[in-house]
Amino acid sequence: MGLLAGILEPDIDRHLLRKEGEQVIDQVQKHWVVIVPWVGLMATSIPLFLLMVPMRDLFWIPMAAGLAALGYGLWRAHIMHMDRFVITNMRVFRIHGVFNTHLATMPMTRILDISLIQPFWGKVFDYGHLVFESAAQAQGLREIRYVAAPGERDLKIQEVIQRAGLRQKMELKDEEDPEEAAGT
The percent of residues above 90 in pLDDT, for the chain, comes to 67
pLDDT in tens, 83-125: 999 999 999 999 999 989 899 999 988 888 899 999 999 999 9
Does the pLDDT of residue 177 top 60, yes or no? no
pTM: 0.80
Does the pLDDT of residue 184 top 60, yes or no? no
DSSP β-bridge partners for residue 26:
87
CA distance 85 to 93: 6
Element (H, E) at 147: strand 143-148
Which range, of 63-72, 120-129, 154-163, averages the lowest pLDDT?
154-163
CA distance 130 to 133: 10
CA atoms within 13 A on the CB side of 105: 12
